[in-house]
Amino acid sequence: MSETILVVNAGSSSIKFQLFAIVSPDRLERRLKGQIDGIGTRPRLVAKDANGSRVVDKSWSTEKVGELPDALDQLVLFLREYVGALPVAIGHRVVHGGPNFAAPTVATSNVVQQLERFIPLAPLHQPNNLAPIKIVLERQPQLLQVACFDTAFHRSHPDVADRYAIPEPLFAEGVRRYGFHGLSYEYIAEKLCEVAPKIAHGRVIVAHLGSGASMCALAEGKSVESSMGFTALDGLPMGTRPGQLDPGVVLYLISEKRMSAKETEHFLYHDCGLKGLSGLSNDVRELLASSDPHAKFALDFFAYRIALFTGMLAAALGGIDGFVFTAGIGENAPLIRGIVAERLSWLGVELSDEANEKGETRISRERSPVACYVIPTDEELMIARHTLQILRKNASIELMEKRA
């Protein structure tokens, strides 16, 4: 059996994981994809192999798997049973890397302490991303762990894109625009070279549309601007987050509605976005199936804001050669893609209705001045690749030290 790399994306009550086999020094093959969800309520492990066949479906009582460490223990037991050995390294998705972590980094105790500073900037993700790293550091300190950041890909931004119009000392403290979903955009930037080489090194806007949503402007395959800023609240409306918001609204909630900082944080992260607009759901599938006018309005608003941010990002690029839809909504909602494309006709987007309905890779007409694509993202593969690079680098350093 080949050596393996485990990729972990931990949430508040779930652990999503994928296992990749190292089949050559620079090639990986996906062997497993699964998750343990319902931690603390109805814990359940489900995993499928590379062919999509279910290899495990197991549930436990909350007494046995009531917390994240218990779930990690069960994941380790399963991997030992299924693979026969532990992975040689673990790659973790970490949402916020702050100003100093501009590349995947070996996750040491010192690194974790630095990353904990950014928990207030990503309260839904950061503490959950760091929790399994800390557990493994305690239990298997010899195992290589790599933190891969959603913010790192955007560190190529020019200063003018990353600054707010606030005093310099605050910028020096780290109050700046970071951008998120970088692992997804990095994958798309690489995939474009294969799928659409004519525009891969041109001016491309990528819309990562899921429960969390953002957009990114790519020039020469590098991020030059993003819709998200200091936190993952900014930019597009999302499932439960409002997106772009006048700071005065926050002041109003605190001063007039008498909300505490914690209440305001909970409201902005959990009660706004598509859920707040529709009053029904944060799930686009449910909104698309609903006949309620509020559901339609929420989706129209979502598409409208995507079109607005496209204009902003096109200005940052000085034009646009291509547009890419990705992530859950972007990959699976042709109606949303159609509404957005119609609003972008002024930029030169000419959609093929047939290709869009079929979910083909290219969904614009051949004559369209702006090529439009649907490209499934693969953040886990990016994490595995980064982890493999660091694993190989460490092995090379160790070999050189032995020879010295």
Which positions are catalytic? 150
Instruction: List, in sequence order, every residue forming a beta bridge with 222; answer none if it has no partner.
Output: 219
Return the H-helix or E-strand segment holding 29: strand 27-37
What tokens were used for 34?
């699964």
Q: What are phi and psi of 197, to 5 degrees?
A: -60, -25
Q: What are phi and psi of 346, to 5 degrees?
A: -65, -20
Instruction: List, in sequence order, every residue forming a beta bridge with 374; answer none if it has no partner.
Output: 325
HSE (side-chain half, CA atoms, 13 Å) at 114: 14
Q: How far apart are CA 61 and CA 68, in angstroms?
A: 14
Work out the number of other CB atoms within 10 angstroms of the CB of residue 323.
28
Contact 273/305 with Cβ under 8 angstroms?
A: no
**Closest of 135, 28, 120, 156 to residue 73, by C-alpha:** 135
Q: How far apart are CA 401 and CA 399, in angstroms?
A: 5
- Residue partners of 15: CB distance under 8 A and separation at least 6: 8, 9, 35, 36, 37, 39, 68, 71, 72, 75, 132
